[in-house]
Amino acid sequence: MQIDLNNKTALITGATGQLGRVMARTLAQCGANVAIHYRSNENQAIELQDEIHSYGSRATIVQADITNLDSILTMKKKIEEQLGSVDIVVANAVVQYQWTSILEQSPEDYESQFESCVMQSVYLAKAFAPAMIKQKWGRFVGINTECVMQNFPTQSAYVAGKRGMDGVYRVLAKEIGEHQITVNQVAPGWTISERDRLNKTEHSESYEQTVPLKRRGTDQEIANAVAFLASDLASFITGAYIPVSGGNVMPSI
């Protein structure tokens, strides 16, 4: 048994980011063709495209503002011209900002999280779900966070945006499930990325002691969960919020 994404086309938003690039590589290694979305880091997108080509998969780079429907529709058109219809959408991009207390956080930061978490999810569904409905197959995988279950100080804007995203995804799962389209979320913990390896910041004893597995997860472990949900191995899983956090957060029944 293996994850087989041959003849599938995947879009990863924020694909040039720390987690996004590993997701793109992993889906390509499973056989998918990949649309590499970026906002401003074109050089990283080109490097990633070349790497995916080396795996034998097709890839194209697409620039878009994921908080703008017209920009997403333009991106969709380019992907279809280069790779065909998108079968798998991974909503990974999010606006970065400086975390602080609710009393100090600017209203604009809450708006940016709403736009990049909630509205991105809505726009991606509007753009890509219709073709999935026609072919009776599709995957939406949203990248959420363990923070939505922690609610720690300074997390409010991020948690608000990601909780809103959770609501959209759960409703979407019920609305389009009859067409054999699954809609799920992967919720990483504090994950080791390429930046950590370069900076030698892989370990945090205070954080690791809160995790049942006593370590931080890796970017590859997040990408593995995404690849699983994108595949037919997960064909009867939908509406799920799946922490990949070593047990640091545990949804209850």
Q: Indicate which residues carry an active-site annotation.
A: 158
CA gap 1, 213 in Å, rounded: 26
Across the beta sheet with 88-91, the strand order is: 59-63, 33-38, 9-12, 88-91, 138-143, 181-188, 241-244
HSE, side-chain direction, 13 A CA sphere, residue 41: 17
HSE, side-chain direction, 13 A CA sphere, residue 173: 19
Cβ neighbours around 104 below 10 Å, total: 10
Helix axes 20-29, 219-230, angle to 10 degrees: 50
The single-letter code of the amino acid at 135 is Q
- List the one residue out of 241, 62, 231 whose CA is nearest residue 163: 241
Which two tokens mark 75? 């991106």
